[in-house]
Amino acid sequence: MDIFITGVAGFIGFHLARDLLNNNYEIIGIDNLNSYYDPELKKSRLKILFEIAKNQKKHFKFIECDLKDRKSLDKIFKEYKPRKVINLAAQAGVRYSLKNPSEYISSNLTGFFNIIDLSKETNVKHFLYASSSSVYGGNEKLPFSESDGVDHPVSIYAATKKSNEMIAHCYSHLFNLPTTGLRFFTVYGPWGRPDMALFLFTKAMIKGEKINIFNNGDMVRDFTYIDDVVRSVNELVFMPPLKNDNFDRLKSDPSSSWAPFEIFNIGNSNPVSLMKYIDALENELGLEAKKNFMQMQKGDVVITSANTIKLENKINFKPSTSIKDGIAEFVKWYKYYYKV
């Protein structure tokens, strides 16, 4: 098989698989279809992938499997022998990690280990994995650069993502497995996750309910539209990292290595205040939000901002979709999907 995608029924996994299928690549996807959010939304995404594969006469194989199930994963890898692996399966959400930290340890650490270890054993040519802007934690130097230290996470979720990056480096160093870490910055768009702000706000506003606005609205995010993410990642899939022979161990850069290892910020590099984001949604819906201002939540950070120069130099593309255009596309999808 060409490409193996874990979390294929998830938000980003679905969009990546759809784009790759449309470009004539064969995909094997796995997902455990858990109930963290509505499994029916995940099944609707899968239905579209099957339809595309049928129309394109390309192979799309879906297997329901949990990354913690090493025995089942071993059979899948041995049977399908993927050349490239994009690992997007993980327990997501910063706030949820405060209530269920054990789920993050088992899914994001044990699951991650299983998938990268099997990639090593089956000689995968490129292993890509979802990290997060959350790894920057308590950093206040803006914008966040891949060369910055990320040693002070402020949530269990962020700590697991930082751990993924460290494990990946070990596998690149010890086994010469090319690995690429993808630090996603607040991804949004059609078919998005119901636990994320845009989805929650839209649903509440249409129902005439209040929206919860944390830190009294004093939040800034580097909102990144899904199509920009897809283009960035699907370029990187075919550009495995090489060893950096000029790596200076006296001036260590966390985003590069003497091993075939790299990390990239995947962000819009145009941070927007949460209140401006809400204004754009109000304009698109033609509704005024009923606002419930709340205190800062544990595990959150006030500002995220991506330096994407490294990404731009690598793939000659800069994510740049405006929130106006991105929110318009989301609202159009939401009204269509939920028939409102």
Instruction: Using alpha carbons, select from 149, 146, 39, 157 the residue that is nearest to residue 105.
Output: 157
Catalytic residue among 25, 157, 171, 334: 157
How many residues are given for the chain?
Answer: 340
What is the full per-residue pLDDT of the chain (340 aa) written as tens digits?
589 999 999 999 999 999 999 998 999 999 999 888 899 999 999 999 999 998 877 789 999 999 999 999 999 999 999 999 999 998 777 667 777 788 888 889 999 999 999 999 999 999 999 999 999 998 989 999 999 999 999 988 899 999 999 999 999 999 999 999 999 999 999 999 999 999 999 999 999 999 999 999 999 999 999 999 999 999 999 999 999 999 988 888 888 999 999 999 999 999 999 999 999 999 999 999 999 999 988 878 899 999 999 999 999 999 999 999 999 999 999 999 999 9
What CA–CA distances, in Å, run from 337 to 190, 211, 269, 328, 332? 10, 21, 30, 14, 9
**Alpha-carbon gap, residue 309 to 313, rounded angstroms:** 6
**Alpha-carbon gap, residue 198 to 270, rounded angstroms:** 17
Question: Which residues are paired to 292 by β-bridges?
Answer: 212
**Alpha-carbon gap, residue 268 to 190, rounded angstroms:** 17
Contact 97, 155 (CB under 8 A): yes
Per the CATH hierarchy, to which homologous superfamily does domain 3-185+226-267+306-320 belong?
NAD(P)-binding Rossmann-like Domain (3.40.50.720)
Active site residue 225: no
Please state the domain extents for the chain: 3-185+226-267+306-320
